Amino acid sequence: MDHEDLRRAIVDGCHALEAQGLNRGASGNVSVRACGEMLITPSGVAYDRLAPEMVAGMPLSEPDGRWSGPMKPSSEWRFHRDLLRARPDLNAVVHTHAPFCTILSILRRPIPAIHYMMAAFGGVDIRVAPYATYGTAALSAHVVAAMDGRNGCLMANHGMVVGGPDLTRALWLAGELEALAHQHYHALALGGGHILSDADIADAAKGFASYGVQPRHG
């Protein structure tokens, strides 16, 4: 995809987050890697007004926050950029304040292996990145650490972030992470439940190995 296609895909992705109820209070932001640059949703634009030309560009190689475009990038650009820099396996990052992820982030409870779909995230649990003020380098460092070897994490008293090899996969993971949080929330309310073993998750992971392909299941 060229830059124009990627900008359109980002706008479409934002609309998909909205349609799934994942974009609590217009909090979501989306980024993709594009030839040494990061394309990211702009700051302070409602999704129904978002147009492809409003998507901001930021060089991945520079230490500062230099950007290009008619509107400044999302105030959350730092952890998007740092994840794309630290993780060559990720080409798209999605961040939202999805309701159930955010509730569990307030409890600062990792999500254990309550469902085999956990295997899609590269480990046996979803970690919680410690709290730091939005937009800061401290928050970014916490997120990069919580994402080590994983495709998703919660962010304490804030929300969640997922990353994937492409935007389609990252958007799919955003919905799956909110589903896990929703399931865990209700299981906790009913007293807990059973947690799958590491071997169960390793077995399930075999079906998630195809790069960029969504698993068949059900």
The residues annotated with a catalytic role in the active site are 76
Measured distance CA(155)–CA(106) in Å, rounded: 9
User: What's the one-letter identity of residue 109?
Assistant: R
Helix (H, G, I), strand (E, B) or coil at 62: coil
What interhelical angle do 167-189 and 99-107 show, nearest 10?
A: 60
CA-based R_g, the chain, Å: 17
Nearest residue to 29 via CA among 93, 72, 83: 93
* Residue pair 2/35 in contact by the 8 Å Cβ criterion: no
Report CA 149 to chain centroid distance, whole Å.
14
